[in-house]
Structure 1
Amino acid sequence: MRPRKQDAFTDTKAGVVTGSISLRSNGSRLFLLNRKGATCTAVYNNAAVAGSTELSKLVCSDGNNGNATLRYGSDGKPAHVLYNAGLDGGGTVRF
């Protein structure tokens, strides 16, 4: 599966951010977020279920770690990720 990328989105404190999600060789999904010059990642290990959500720790290279919730659409594909980067803002990336 190729990474699913989307146009830039707005973060409550970081301004414009970009994000993508990709399927890893072990079946998990990797969310990659670029914000304020930092790279953040979250890994989702559960099998995709239509309409479900999965919570993961968001780890950022600038230390502003938080949480990221992946929501699957009715087709079982990633629909969006809602994230927070600790006390340094947050937002939604749609796919």
Structure 2
Amino acid sequence: MKLPVQLRESIAQDQERTESSKAQMSELESSIQKVDAEVHNKEMMLKDLRKLQDQVSRKTAERSTLFKEQQRQYAALPEENEGFSFAI
């Protein structure tokens, strides 16, 4: 059975559209994978930055504590030295 010319042309056009759509989907999938990889990299960078920020916060608190202790010890020096007499 022979198909009418219009039907054959319609089938050929549908096949072309199908192939075109498949190619577009393949390109989009590739683009999506690239974007997913970029998002993953950014998430890892953000995680690393948060770790660094936490380390900075801890070190800042540690320095502050040490500075306060140093000030307390320095303030206590005159009291400790009151009991000593220095001979010149």
Superposed pair shares fold, TM > 0.5 = no
User: TM-score, structure 1 length as denominator?
Assistant: 0.13
More strand by share: 1
User: TM-score, structure 2 length as denominator?
Assistant: 0.13
